[in-house]
Amino acid sequence: MTMRNRPLFSILIPSYNRPEYITECIDSVLANGGEDYEIIISDDASPTADAIEEAVRPYLAHSNIQFHRLRTNLKEPGNRNFLVSQATGEYTIILCDDDKLLPHTLRTIRWYLDHYPGHDIYGMGYTVIDEKGKPCYSRCAPGALEINLDHPKLVRRMFEAACLPFLVCHPATFCCRHGVEKEISYRQDVSTGDDLMFLLDCLNKGKRMYIMPECLLLYRWFRSSETTHQINQSLSKIKVWQAYRNIYYLLQQRTDLHPSIVRFISAPQYRKRFLYAPIIRGRGITRETIELLKLQPAHMKELVNSIAKPLRYGFIVKEFLIVGLELVQLFGVTGITYSIRVGIAHFRYKILGRFRSIVMAREDKSFLNAYRHMK
């Protein structure tokens, strides 16, 4: 395959322990056609590195495909930074090894680059697929949106309409001008949420962002079993909250932030959204959640009411009696009411648990429809 001197796109694939999906990922890029892109794959010293290298080897016959096998584990941010250092394209797209592009993804991005030039970052929506590649639901911005920090109203709209969380759910949801990632690397001191910090750093340094109202990525979501999923949801909720809290405090310590970001992290309504939203979106009440609630007494009642909604927020841990006693100790007499709500929710969950996936699907659809109509 012949290529021009400098490709338009560098498709960067950080790989770790996904040999069964890496070929699907590469094939999805090649299905876009054209000769204006390169594919660079980097295995982050994973236990299945041999299998990944074996799966990738046939593709190395393409002159625009490279494979790097790291001897030291750099973690996700470090592996991304390494891939960026190897890229030569004008724009970079980081695509995880189990995800896929649509056949028209690059063509669509080319169109936006031609018709809406001058931006540093182009965001896109995504469609969640399961282990077998079956689409589950899509999340996409309700309309095209240009963002930079010199327009406070747009920044407020971005945060209020959750455009930024829609982007940072996955690093492949944005296409960056190569110089941006050279200048602003992924923070290796942030284990979770490094993509959020990257975008905030980009905006803080005056980079312009354009959000395309298109779903151009297939993001694979693993759900091996209902029980495993419930446990993972409970644990990931705590980890996400801790990550957002750490990012928030890191931002508070900085003195170089743009006034728009300072207003965001200072305003009570945004601070609450930034710090507590992962708890409110959680799938149940756990001991860890109670410990988090103790740290913010002013918001205990609201958070407990949000989390304890039967079925709407899904999984209520089996040890609800223990949790109930802790709620009583935490809230006093009022905790009895919360304990009863938890018990009822747990009972209803056990009876109707087989329909939980249907309930979740309805919630996702309702949330998506509400999001699309936000102004």
Mean pLDDT score, 6-12: 95
Express each pLDDT in 363-375 by its tens digit.
334 333 433 333 2
Dist CA 315 CA 29 (whole Å): 37
Dist CA 221 CA 127 (whole Å): 10
Bridge partner residues of 12 (DSSP):
40, 94
Task: List phi, psi (to 5°) of 359.
Answer: -60, -45
When pLDDT is cut at 50, 70 and 90, the band that residue 158 belongs to is low
Q: How many CB atoms lie within 10 A of CB 296?
A: 14
Dist CA 42 CA 242 (whole Å): 29
Buried b (16+ CB within 10 A) or exposed e, 351-375: eeeeebeeebeeeeeeeeeebeeee
Dist CA 114 CA 2 (whole Å): 23
SS3 76: helix
Task: Report H helices in the chain.
Answer: 22-30, 49-56, 75-86, 105-115, 152-160, 163-168, 178-183, 194-204, 226-253, 259-266, 268-280, 287-295, 300-307, 320-331, 334-352, 356-372
When pLDDT is cut at 50, 70 and 90, the band that residue 295 belongs to is low
Mean pLDDT score, 7-28: 95
SS3 211: strand
Dist CA 9 CA 145 (whole Å): 22
Q: Is 9-220 a domain of CATH 3.40.47.10? A: no
Domain boundaries, the chain: 9-220, 226-372
Greater pLDDT, 318 or 221: 221
User: Pick from 136, 132, 128: which is nearest to 21 by CA?
Assistant: 132
Express each pLDDT in 107-152 by its tens digit.
999 999 999 999 999 988 888 888 888 888 787 776 777 776 666 6
When pLDDT is cut at 50, 70 and 90, the band that residue 278 belongs to is very low
Q: How many CB atoms lie within 10 A of CB 164?
A: 20
DSSP of 267-334, one letter per residue?
A: SHHHHHHHHHHHHHT-SS--HHHHHHHHH-GGGHHHHHHHHT-TBTTB---S-HHHHHHHHHHHHTTH
Q: Which pLDDT value is given to residue 285? A: 44
Q: Which pLDDT value is given to residue 360? A: 39
Q: What is the amino acid identity at position 339?
A: S
Query: Does residue 88 surpass a pLDDT of 90?
Result: yes
